[in-house]
Chain A
Amino acid sequence: MPLLELRDVSKAFGGLQVTDHLTFHVDEGEIVSLIGPNGAGKTTVFNLITGIFHVDSGEIVFEGEKVSGLAPHKITDRGIARTFQTLRLFLNMTVLENVMAAEYGHTKATVLEAMLQLPRSRREEKRIRQLAEEKLAFFGQRLAGYRHDQQAYSLSYANRRRLEIARAMATNARLLLLDEPAAGMNPHETHEITELIGKLRDEAGYSILVIEHDMHVVEGISDRVVALDHGVKIAEGSFDQVATNEKVVEAYLGLHTAATK
């Protein structure tokens, strides 16, 4: 049984069909890349999966249960977490708080318990602080101890991307949706991110769906590639199959380019 399954999902904004009868799946322990030219509807697919947009028709199934139609925070609680293409960190909170904020879903203490510092609240705080530190430790030196109490805005761009991934991990997700994790990074950092995504799967056991424009990254990490254009799936398969697919080349380069090349 696939971990995540999109069945015939459609979404339109007014007359613009941004997702058109889209069907694909992500298996447990798999890294799937979603590629396509700008405006192909890749980020919309992420917004549909995480519940920010509602599907017009079709359904999204996670671990055998339908998640389309649920509120975003409930979908996150089920085990899907994402990062954003344009970073959306809580800039004026500390690095550790950013990660701990994402652990809201698996804590239960009420505001009254926190006010009076009752045992459950203190116990939970201790637990999630430890958990957050573990998640940050995954990034080694980059988000090491002395950084924990610094405001998120003081981080460099690459570290902000790392912190977003750490934050997504902290929701106890099983599936991570990474929206252009290598965007705006220098070649060295891109290389590091590529390795990190591999590590996320191999060591931390996440299944990953990733949107990426950098074909070196896509080639390096993907078990499978899904190509979109105008909301329609135009190809699916291994990187080599998709990269040489006529429709994909056409979507990226235009109709007659492939022939004249």
Chain B
Amino acid sequence: MSSLGGGPPLDEGDLPVAIPEPVDPADVARSGVGTDEWVARVDERRAAQTGISGLIARTWERTPAFGRLVILLGPFAIFPFITNEGNLYRYGLITIIYALLAMGLNVVVGFAGLLDLGYVAFFGFGAYLYGIMASGHSGHHLQAEIAIPIVVVSTALLGLLLGLTSWRLLGDYLAIVTLFFLQAFVIFVNNANGGLNDFSYPFVGKVDLTGGANGLDQIDPFNFFGFHITTTRGYYFYTLIALALLMVMLYFVNGSRTGRAWRALREDPLAAEVMSTPVNRLKLLAFMFGAGVAGFSGTIFGAVQSGAFPGDYDVGLLITIYAIVILGGLGSIGGVVVGALVVNGAPELLRSSSNARFLFYGVLLVALFAALKPWYKAVIVLVGTIAFGFAVHGIASAVWSRGTAGHISGAGNFGKALEHWVLLPTNPSSIAGWSYFALICAALVLTLVSGWWRVAVLIPTFYLAAFVWENKLVEQVAGATRLILLGALLVVIMNVRPSGIFGTSRVEIV
């Protein structure tokens, strides 16, 4: 557009003569800096500057909504045909159940901006209620096509009750009350087994509702009009279809008056109220919507596990689901799917040491190039670290034969190459422990130096990190290391994309 250079056509006749012009109009015409158009195009210019990631972002934005859905969920549809039952359950089914669950939270937290820390209780409520209506434990065996709608409606009503607190409470206060609700739920299901501590209900007396701490077992598989879903693959496709439908519906809602009102409420509740939005009603609607989705996901989880256990619906799951929503980008529908993939998939993948190794070096590399600017400094560190390693290894092989005697097993050519680079002493436990300590010290020193000193310190630090990894951390890869790595991965992702993978940067105060 040619108007980038100048401001909008001003009617010169309207200008009072006495007003001083702050900027020489000729300058403005030349550069356009500071004009309305220039201010408005900040985003465009920023996008144009960032090479590959900018290109990906632009392509993504140009893809029509249905195309995006296919790109996001297509791989999930193919996945069952290229993997086995165990992997389909661990990587596939759990990921999409989490995605489905997080999609509902995204409405409450991402769209409407209500900090609901009791969300997981609705998930548990769904599983338990389905279990009460259809399980060997309770003795009732309701068809799924009747039980599921009952669960969804009841959970939504429960959401309405909890949502009532949001009329007066916002932010931290709402968080406290809803967290209390979650704890109350966990305590309730732990005790509602008709035992000594349990209530005596009116009319029926003491009833074993939830099985207490042992959980509600023998939940029926879904039975739709006599058609039973019994395999992991069956549940997988059922959930995937539900997820796809929900994403399409949310996409429509997001663009509708309700979605806009939710987002307006998130941005500024007072302004939304004065601009004709019944804010309280919309808060309740968001709570109900989220709770309904959580209840629906709960029925799937209960049926898949053929049981509901109190420990599954506690704060741990809450944090996982929040991590998914925040990592994906608050308010982004597609982001939730990617977030679920990372948060559920990554820890599972990390159980194998060769996967973990690739991820470790990958994270180091990405962090290096993301954090160290300009790029040539990162290249210097990379080349320097490689050269440093070979030098250390060369010296060590001449003077300290024990230091290079170790082997890396099961990592293919990459592992063989590493054997010539990193020191692998036999019986490394004590020296590895001290190096770990040294690594932490080096990381602390890094925060204190800057410029070329940082580059200089980074080289031995990276080598030390590799040494510690190969000699100490990799052994415990299924345990503590996995969580350290997951944490590091999340830190890197959140640094590269501060507002989530698919999130758009939010501006709070300008």
Which residues 249-306 in B have Cβ within 8 Å of A in the complex?
Answer: 249, 252-253, 255-261, 263-264, 267-268, 270-279, 285, 289
Q: Is the CB of B8 within 8 A of A91?
A: no
- Minimum distance in angstroms from B12 CB to a CB of chain A: 11
- The residues of B that contact A91 with a CB separation of less than 8 Å are 267, 507-508, 510
B16 interfacial by beta-carbon distance below 8 Å? yes
Q: How distant is the Cα of A189 from the Cα of B34 in the complex, in angstroms?
A: 15
Q: Is the CB of A77 within 8 A of B16?
A: no
Contact with B along A101-144 (1 / 0, CB 8 A): 11111110111001111000100110010000000000011101
Q: Is the CB of A115 within 8 A of B249?
A: yes
- Minimum distance in angstroms from B146 CB to a CB of chain A: 20
- B42, B257, B267: the one contacting A92 at CB < 8 Å is B267
Interface size class of A (residues with CB under 8 A): 35 or more
B14 interfacial by beta-carbon distance below 8 Å? yes
- The residues of A that contact B507 with a CB separation of less than 8 Å are 91-92, 151, 153
Q: How distant is the Cα of A94 from the Cα of B510 in the complex, in angstroms?
A: 16
Q: How distant is the Cα of A73 from the Cα of B261 in the complex, in angstroms?
A: 12
Q: Is the CB of B274 within 8 A of A103?
A: no
Number of interface residues of B (CB under 8 A): 45
B9 interfacial by beta-carbon distance below 8 Å? yes
Q: Is the CB of B271 within 8 A of A90?
A: yes
Q: How distant is the Cα of A155 from the Cα of B15 in the complex, in angstroms?
A: 23
B22 interfacial by beta-carbon distance below 8 Å? yes
- B9, B15, B42, B257: the one contacting A191 at CB < 8 Å is B15
- A50, A155, A159: the one contacting B274 at CB < 8 Å is A50
- Minimum distance in angstroms from B305 CB to a CB of chain A: 29
- The residues of B that contact A105 with a CB separation of less than 8 Å are 276-277
Q: Is the CB of A124 within 8 A of B270?
A: no
Contact with A along B481-510 (1 / 0, CB 8 A): 000000000000000000000001011101
Q: Chain A binding site: helix, strand, loop or mixed by DSSP?
A: helix
- A88, A92, A116, A188: the one contacting B506 at CB < 8 Å is A92
* Chain B: CB-nearest residue to A124: B257
Q: Is the CB of A121 within 8 A of B256?
A: yes
A207 interfacial by beta-carbon distance below 8 Å? no
Q: Is the CB of B276 within 8 A of A104?
A: yes
Which residues 149-192 in A have Cβ within 8 Å of B in the complex?
Answer: 150-151, 153-156, 158-159, 167-168, 171, 186-188, 191-192
- The residues of A that contact B14 with a CB separation of less than 8 Å are 191-192, 195
B26 interfacial by beta-carbon distance below 8 Å? no
B82 interfacial by beta-carbon distance below 8 Å? no
* Chain A: CB-nearest residue to B269: A88
- The residues of A that contact B504 with a CB separation of less than 8 Å are 92, 151
Q: How distant is the Cα of A107 from the Cα of B259 in the complex, in angstroms?
A: 13
B24 interfacial by beta-carbon distance below 8 Å? no
Q: Could you list which residues of chain B lie within 8 angstroms of chain A, going by C-beta atoms? A: 1, 8-9, 14-16, 19, 22, 36, 39-43, 249, 252-253, 255-261, 263-264, 267-268, 270-279, 285, 289, 504, 506-508, 510
Known: A76-B275, A93-B263, A191-B15; 16 extra A-B contacts, CB below 8 A, are A71-B273, A71-B278, A81-B275, A88-B268, A91-B508, A92-B507, A101-B275, A111-B256, A114-B252, A125-B255, A125-B257, A147-B40, A150-B43, A153-B507, A158-B36, A187-B16
9 A-B residue pairs with Cβ-Cβ distance under 8 Å, sorted by A, are A73-B274, A89-B267, A92-B267, A101-B277, A104-B260, A104-B276, A107-B257, A116-B252, A171-B275
- 10 A-B pairs with least C-beta separation: A105-B276, A114-B256, A141-B8, A90-B267, A88-B271, A153-B507, A115-B249, A102-B275, A76-B276, A101-B264
